[in-house]
Structure 1
Amino acid sequence: MQHVDSLKDKTMTGLFWSLADLMANHGIQFIIQIILARLLLPEHFGIIGMIIILIAISNSIVDSGFSQALIRDQNTSQEDYSTIFYFNLFIALVIYGILFISSNVISTFFGEPQLIKIIRVLSLVLIINSLGLIQRVMLIKSIDFKTITKTGIIAAIISGSITIVFALLGFGVWSLVINILSMQFIQTTLLWFFNKWLPKKTFNRQSFKKFFRFGYKLLLSGLIDTFYNNLFFVIIGKSYSVTQLGFYSNASKLRDNASLAILISVQRVTYPVLSSIREDQKWLKSGFRKIMKTTAFITFPITTGLIAVANPLFTLLLGEKWIPSVIYFQLLCVAGMLYPINAINLDILKVKGRSDLFLLIEIISKTILTILIVLSLWFELGIIGLIGAAVLSTYINLCINAYFSAREIAYTGKEQLMDLLPIYLISISMGIVVYMVGEVLPSNPYVELFCQVSIGVVIYISACKLARVQELNTVYRMIWALVMKIKSALNNTKSMVNRID
């Protein structure tokens, strides 16, 4: 019982700092993105969007699934860490060389000459990231998200400030390149500063084989997932104008700030925690179920609310020139609504060591998505049709993921559906009402947004109380615990200042 209480405390502390990272780090990046959207043109974001798939896939190869394998492992030695560190760095250097040489071909494919220099400079981020992978893994394993939060906030503020200066000086797309590079460089530097670890001069083949046996399947599934997550950037960049790609790119980033940011903040805490209790089937199922329902309670209303307030939100934050992004953003939010649920289902497979099933699911789900994409292109449904294919595949994936995870922890798809359905229906109903309120209000984005958000919050909380949704109390206790931690931190700071005086 003492172990369980200790694990709960550790989880709450980790969740506190993970959510703090979400609100602060992503909040800062969100503000910077808004400023850059007003300073730069859609085509600047479109140019970066053309090569984002290359960077994303390359990062997956550099990691090679070893991060997840290390986090899952309960008896990791310094030799293990050093072996994976050197492998990650070696792969990063190799891929950078390949991208450097291939930059001419890629530029010709998209018909954008300036991509040559951008690829050769931006690809340096792969080497920078590889240097910080082990440091981050060690902090995640110890659920030390306080340090990760500090590095993220500092890096976001400094890199964001540098980027805005370059944008004001007229550097255009290069200011976005500088943003990515400076952000990762500062984060990696700070991770090394706060986490005092240095690799040993050793490379153990047995260590490599041990983690590769689990990690290579995650690598393959990760490559498939990353490729398809960024495939639309390639299709839109090749088939449509760079401006249209810019509209889609910014809509995607704003969606990610909502659904994916929440997912990452919760998932990076829950995965190591669930891994630590994977042998206790009862606790594992109970913990998984609670995580699933609480995540849905937070994610569903946020995404539906964003869909409902998208028009005044874009007008107020980004300006009139970004209005064509609204419909893309709304459809992407429909898909993003289920991203956290799908990902948490897949986490169970990783926790149970079933990377083979993880890979199989990726192949099945992406085969379905490929068919849907081909159909949308065949019938010339345009960008809307492409995003519609992604939305449909997300709901199909939920059925597939729930089926396979249920086999591991005896939490059936029907049970999941019954747990999620009340929150889903309440969120959808709230979103419809909020959208209708916006239609009858005067066309003032400030008034419209304030009224819609206020009414949405009241409706959601009231409906959850009437439906006796337990997660309302769970989230309330979490918020109260976070408030107490903040209060305690402020009191400790005040005491330190008084002692100094």
Structure 2
Amino acid sequence: MRSIHPVINIIKKKFSGQFIRNVGWLSISEIIYRVLRLGLVVIIARYLNRHDYGLGAIIMTVREFSLTFADIGISAKIIQAEEEELEDLCNSAYWLSWVVFFSLFVIQSIAAFPIAWFYKSPNLILPIIVSGIAYLIWPLSTIQKTLIQRENRLKVIAIANSAQNFTGSILTAIFAVLGMGVWSLVLPSILISPLEPLIYYRAQSWRVNTGFTTKSWSQIFKFGKNILGVSLLRTLRNNLDYLLVGRFVVKQGVPEYGIQELGLYFFGFNAGLGISLSIINAINSAILPHLCGVRSELSELKKSYFSSLKTIRATIIPFVILQSSLAHIYVPIVFGKKWVPAIPIVILICLSAIPRPFADAASQLLIAVGKPHLDLYWNIIFTFLFSMTILIGVNLPFLGVDTSVLSVHLGEHWQIIVVAISVLLVHIVFLPLFTLWATRYVFPKTKKD
């Protein structure tokens, strides 16, 4: 028995070590960004008002929905593909990415008008259109970035992210100080977009070597349709509270009150989940290639998966608890006293981060074993549950509930605090159930277990 242990340890070190290094690089990148972002948030919190924050939340939500449609499975398919089909797949995916991003730019520009009408704010039209200009640059390096991820060279992605985040943060701060309002949240992402192609072109030698082709499009669509569905549902969940708060939280005699409350909620959400979400995203970027690399051996896949969960547990839980417990101290000091009403939202949303990365890891596990449709089914169920919970929370007055007690105990901003409570409850109840189910599905218990 002793002779087996060194072999097992070598295998563990090979796969777990690579995963931890990748998570480490991406986490360092995100932490550097968040440290910069902390200073940036301090500046824009003092130079932007709640209305600007509200407009920014809507613009970023629109952009996030657009970018979700860009994720039609191109990256996941390239990462998961066998070596012999890779070159043809990359050439075809390159042209598909151009079609997708150009279409998104046109659709977002057209959608700006009904969105502005829905929120009764004409000031949204031009920023929404301008924010889509970056879509016309990103296809240049989409394939290179994905190949780097496939090769597990996530250090390069970390460097690219850091360069973009640093430059973008500096530009945002400058524009905010200059009094550019919501434009300080829109223009930097466009100005820094050429950095990505410059970095990835130097780091990855792949270049398109065919004319326009649709050869592998059906293959990509077939693989990616479930992933796209999951991404859309996840994006809807991540932004549904923004959409509802901005439109349905109203106060008689106060024009655009919903957008002002959305600004407060958006600040609280980002202050509460910003750093945690960065670490979660870093882990998610590393998990899929990590699991795909060992998916042919169930025992190694199981070891790698549970090793990933241990990394998540050791990283996320202590950080979230520390951050939420100190919110009463750092929010007024760092961001200013005008954001004190957002402290309950910061705490509630921060705590909702704990189950998220475990469920995300379970989703990546299903994709790695070729079962993305099961992830899609779960996301349909969870999105329905999430939507119903948030709708009930934001519409309590219309449901005949006596809200005077809530107003007394939670204060003037009780409506958005109730929304934050709803977000926390739906995450801590249902995400652990999915994580447990997906894990048991892929690794069913046996008598030996």
1:66-108 residue CA offsets vs partner (Å, 9 max, x unmatched)? 2122222232522211211211221211121122123222111
2:43–2:177 contact (8 Å) kept in structure 1: no
Pick the aligned partner of 1:218 from 222, 227, 233: 227
> Structure 1 residue 174: deviation in Å?
0.7
Task: Report the secondary structure of 1:327's partner residue.
Answer: helix
Shift of 1:388: 2.1
Pairing of 1:297-446 with structure 2 (within 5 A): 297-380=314-397, 382-394=415-427, 395-410=429-444
Q: Tell me by how many angstroms 1:8 deviates.
A: 4.7
TM-score (norm: length of structure 2): 0.86
Distance in 2 separating the partners of 1:168 and 1:71: 42
The reply to whether residue 44 of structure 1 matches residue 52 of structure 2 is yes
Contact preservation (8 Å) 1:45, 1:173: yes
Give the match for residue 126 of structure 1: 135
Distance in 2 (CA, whole Å) between partners of 1:164 and 1:123 is 21
CA-based RMSD of the aligned residues comes to: 2.2
- Pairwise CA distance, 1:3: 7.0
Amino acid at match of 2:33: N
The corresponding residue for 1:265 is 282
The sequence identity of aligned pairs, in percent, is: 20
Change (3 A) 1:411 1:65: farther
Which residue is equivalent to 2:152? 143
Conservation of the 8 A alpha-carbon contact between 1:58 and 1:95: yes
Higher relative contact order (CA 8 A, sep 6+): 2
> Following TM superposition, by how much is the alpha carbon of 1:160 offset from its aligned partner in structure 2, in angstroms?
2.0
Structure 2 residue matching 1:279: 3-state secondary structure: coil
Letter in 2 for 1:385: V
Q: 1:99 to 1:205 in 2, by over 3 A?
A: closer
Equivalent position SS for 1:252: helix
Q: Distance in 2 between matches of 1:296 and 1:3?
A: 22
For residues 234 and 362 of structure 1, the distance between their equivalents in structure 2, rounded to whole angstroms, comes to 19
Question: Unaligned regions of 5+ residues in structure 2, if any?
Answer: 1-6, 250-256, 398-402, 404-414
Cα 1:302–1:346 shift into 2, 3 Å: same
**How far is 1:278 from its partner?**
0.8
Aligned residue-pair number: 413
2:241 counterpart letter in structure 1:
F
Q: Which amino acid aligns with 1:208?
A: W
Amino acid paired to 1:21: S
Tell me how far apart the structure 1 counterparts of residues 437 and 339 of structure 2 sit (CA, whole Å).
40
Letter in 1 for 2:425: L
Q: Is the 8 A contact 2:78 2:86 kept in 1?
A: no
More helix by share: 1
State the 1:136 CA deviation: 1.8
Q: Which secondary structure state, in structure 2, belongs to the residue aligned with residue 353 of structure 1?
A: coil
Give secondary structure in 2 for the equivalent of 1:114: helix
- Structure-1 residue corresponding to 2:70: 62
1:208 paired with 2:199, answer no
Where 1:98 maps in the other structure, the secondary structure is helix
In 2, Cα distance between equivalents of 1:411 and 1:291: 19
1:26-45 mapped onto 2 (5 Å cutoff): 26-45=34-53
Q: CA 1:108/1:268 → structure 2, altered by over 3 Å: closer, same or farther?
A: same
Moved more, 379-388 or 356-365: 379-388
Which amino acid counterpart does residue 49 of structure 2 have in structure 1? L
Q: 1:255 pairs with 272, 279, 285, which one?
A: 272
